[in-house]
Structure 1
Amino acid sequence: MTDKQKPEPYDFTAQVGHLLRRAYQRHTTVFQQHIPDSHLTAIQFVVLCALRDHGGSSIAEIVRTTVIDQATIRGVIERLRARELVAVEHDREDRRKVVVQLTASGARMVEEMVPFGHLISERTFGCLNPAERLALLFLLQKMIAGDDAG
């Protein structure tokens, strides 16, 4: 290989995956700093919101809605159940199927945390102006829309 054919150097810090991971780490830090319930994680909040939006759901439905893997979801649901924020019951028609739903405490928790969710999103955007925020959301949605095509 001649000098002219040398591959471009690979700087992992400039790669999309690394930058997305760093952005997510930043978001997680912001979440932990601003959510008043120190025992509530970002993933648990997503699951609670999904149950609020879709009602009682099977594990498979929660996985599809949240795009969180099944092994992780099971642990999240178990922790939410231990805090009595969700109830887990067998489906009346198919006893093999488990249905997860918000308890009254879980519904109150979501309602109380949503304003903080908005604040966390605002802080995650940081110094981005309105056009940059819109562009970022558009590009991220376009990027993940490719998942549906394949």
Structure 2
Amino acid sequence: MTTAPSASPDLATVPDAELLRLDHQVCFSLHAASRAFGGYYRRALKDLGLTYSQYLVMLVLWERGPQAVKAIGERLHLDSGTLSPLLKRLESAGLVRRERSREDERSVVIELTDEGAGLRERALFVPRGVLAATGLSLEEVLGLQEVLGRLTGALGEAVDADR
């Protein structure tokens, strides 16, 4: 039984001069897209008084309710050195409160204040605006998210294998 030829070129057949072209690097395409998204989100979130990182924390809390700091960090792939100052700013803004866990005094739980919970309704325009700004259909965006999830998982496994 023979296998069907691959629709994509085998990297062994790509000339060396082409391999190192900037526009052929997936990492550069992701970098450029990330910068474009960052610019869009900076503008869109300004009226909410949130940075992009703060918005991500709020999304976790709106979706899951009160969360341990560790759980938020794991969900967002952020270390405590990055997450702690971000949470302090959200607390200073009156959007979240931090409390010691009753079950484990070593753990700090983050929960929304009434103001933080109320911000959810005002934030609904953000994902709709992003979808419209991309010019992609919902199906294309969902497909892109699926591919990016596979890419992230594969690269994470490759990094873990090298440790």
TM-score by length of 2: 0.75
SS of the counterpart of 2:49? Answer: coil
Measure how far apart 1:148 and its partner are.
6.5
* Higher RCO (Cα < 8 Å, 6 or more apart): 1
1:90 maps to 100
Aligned residues: percent identity?
Answer: 26
> Which of 94, 98, 113 is residue 103 of structure 1 equivalent to?
113
Contiguous gaps of at least 5 residues in structure 2: 1-14
2:68 maps to 58
Are residue 144 (structure 1) and residue 140 (structure 2) matched?
Answer: no
Aligned residues: 143
Alpha-carbon contact 2:100-2:108 (below 8 Å) kept: yes
> Which of 77, 91, 101 is residue 81 of structure 1 equivalent to?
91
> Which of 5, 8, 16 is residue 17 of structure 2 equivalent to?
8
User: 2-side partners of 1:38 and 1:109: how far apart?
Assistant: 8
Aligned AA for 1:8?
Answer: A
Contiguous gaps of at least 5 residues in structure 1: 1-5
Flag the 1:135–1:57 CA change in 2: closer, same or farther, 3 A.
closer
User: 2-side partners of 1:79 and 1:66: how far apart?
Assistant: 17
Alpha-carbon contact 2:48-2:122 (below 8 Å) kept: no
> Which of 21, 24, 30 is residue 40 of structure 2 equivalent to?
30
SS of the counterpart of 1:118? Answer: helix
Alpha-carbon contact 1:85-1:106 (below 8 Å) kept: yes
